[in-house]
Amino acid sequence: MEKRKPRQSKPIGASAGTEKPADRPRKLRASTTKAEDRHRMIAEAAYFKAERRDFRGGSPDQDWFEAEAEIQAMLTKTTPR
């Protein structure tokens, strides 16, 4: 017969519901993840715009604004409501 390890007792006051909010691990919200994905998509699109012109001339800000508009249009078109 297999021996079981004795259960370790929790420190006093360490029940499941007594954790302070700062002690609990933060959960990622879906909106945060989506915002991070959107930001990454815009950054990549802006990079490819600059790459197409061999990183000469143009403006990084303009690349970003154009990429942002393109990604927003793409996401709005494909997002189910």
Say if CB 42 and CB 64 are below 8 A apart.
yes
- pLDDT recorded at residue 29: 58
φ/ψ region of 38 (left if φ > 0, alpha if ψ in -120 to 50, else beta) reads alpha
- pLDDT recorded at residue 76: 87
Q: How far apart are the first and last CA of the chain?
A: 58
User: What values do phi and psi take at 8, rounded to 5?
Assistant: -85, 135
In Å, what is the CA distance from 71 to each residue of 10, 18, 29, 54, 68? 50, 44, 21, 22, 5
Q: Which one, of 36, 62, 68, lies nearest residue 50 by Cα?
A: 62
pLDDT tens digits in sequence order for the chain, 81 residues long? 566 666 655 555 555 555 555 555 555 556 667 999 999 999 999 999 999 999 999 999 999 999 999 999 998 886 565
Domain positions in the chain are 28-78
- pTM higher than 0.85 for the full model? no
- pLDDT recorded at residue 21: 56
- pLDDT recorded at residue 8: 59
